[in-house]
């Protein structure tokens, strides 16, 4: 199982890098944008279907995505509290543009989705993401 999840995560990471490669728009940089102001919400019709599926999964499985820390650095430069915030704007106004151009977010989401498909609980999913993408996070408390 671990080898399959790692392989899936690598595919997701590469897909995210390709989507964000060469793009220097506010949407590809998430909320930060050129002036540090929030970018407009992304329209899922404007992102590849494979990326849009990650957004839809985050909305459908909010509790699992909210239990997972993100290791791309967005907690510091965007104020995200969890992987869920990378996809769904914290102000509730649509989809956050950040994840569409972030290979780490897409890679983590790929792992979350694969483990959800296997029926794994949020605690196992959280541990798998931490194991593959980072160390113990400073935010996003473990699911209760």
Reported as a single tens digit per residue, the pLDDT across 92-144 is 889 999 999 999 999 999 999 999 999 999 999 999 999 999 865 555 556 66
In percent, the amount of the chain with pLDDT more than 70 equals 66
3-class SS of residue 79: coil
Per the DSSP assignment, residues forming a β-bridge with 88 are: 95
Domain locations along the chain: 2-133
- CA angle at residue 84 from 115 to 51, to 5 degrees? 70
State pLDDT tens for residues 75-87. Answer: 888 889 999 999 9
What does R_g of the chain's alpha carbons equal in angstroms?
14
Contacts 24+ apart (CB under 8 A), 36-45: 38/91, 39/97, 40/97, 41/89, 41/93, 41/94, 41/95, 41/96, 41/97, 42/94, 42/95, 42/96, 42/97, 42/100, 43/95, 44/95
Per the DSSP assignment, residues forming a β-bridge with 42 are: 95
State pLDDT tens for residues 39-95. Answer: 679 999 999 999 999 999 999 999 999 999 999 988 888 889 999 999 999 888 899
pLDDT of residue 73: 86
């Amino acid at each position: 199982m671990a080898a399959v999840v790692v392989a899936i995560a690598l595919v997701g990471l590469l897909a995210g890098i390709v989507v964000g490669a060469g793009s220097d728009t506010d949407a590809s940089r998430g909320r930060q944008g050129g002036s540090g102001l929030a970018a407009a919400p992304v329209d899922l019709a404007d992102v590849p279907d494979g990326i849009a599926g990650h957004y839809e999964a985050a909305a459908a499985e909010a509790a699992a995505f909210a239990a997972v820390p993100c290791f791309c650095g967005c907690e510091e430069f965007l104020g995200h509290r969890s992987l869920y915030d990378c996809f769904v704007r914290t102000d509730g106004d649509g989809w956050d543009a950040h994840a569409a151009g972030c290979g780490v977010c897409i890679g983590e989401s790929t792992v979350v989705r694969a483990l959800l498909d296997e029926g794994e609980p949020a605690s196992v999913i959280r541990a798998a993401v931490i194991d593959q993408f980072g160390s113990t996070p400073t935010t996003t408390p473990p699911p209760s």
